[in-house]
């Protein structure tokens, strides 16, 4: 099962069993863990290259389960 963790002021960290495909269905080469860009600054999209540091702020939280 894949787990996606939203990093404060940073990327989406993905671990577990997953596959990342582009709009045409082509599969990106990945390791067992990777980080996806969510700031738009990466030169290696869809992957994070750390370009967000000091330029991107977002700390979203899930609503607690009742």
Overall average pLDDT of the 41-47 stretch: 97
- 19-51 residues labelled b (16+ CB within 10 A) or e (exposed): eeeeeeeeeeeeeeebbbbbbeebeeeeebeee
Tell me, yes or no, whether 66 lies in a domain: no
Number of domain units in the chain: 1
Sign of torsion over alpha carbons 54, 42, 29, 5: positive
Q: What percent of the chain has pLDDT over 70?
A: 100
Verdict on whether the full-model pTM lies above 0.75? yes
Q: Span 34-50, mean pLDDT? A: 97
Given a cut of 90, whether residue 62 has pLDDT beyond it is: yes
Report d(CA 44, CA 41) in Å as an integer: 9
> Residue 11 pLDDT more than 90?
yes
What CATH number is given to the structural domain containing 18?
Answer: 3.40.5
Domain that holds residue 25: 1-58
- The answer to whether position 44 is within a domain reads yes
């Amino acid at each position: 099962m894949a787990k996606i963790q939203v990093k404060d002021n940073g990327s989406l960290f993905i671990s577990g069993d997953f596959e990342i495909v582009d709009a045409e269905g082509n599969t990106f080469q990945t390791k067992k863990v990777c980080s996806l860009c969510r700031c738009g600054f990466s030169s290696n999209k869809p992957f994070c290259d750390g370009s967000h540091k000091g330029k991107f702020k977002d700390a979203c939280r899930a609503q607690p389960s009742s």
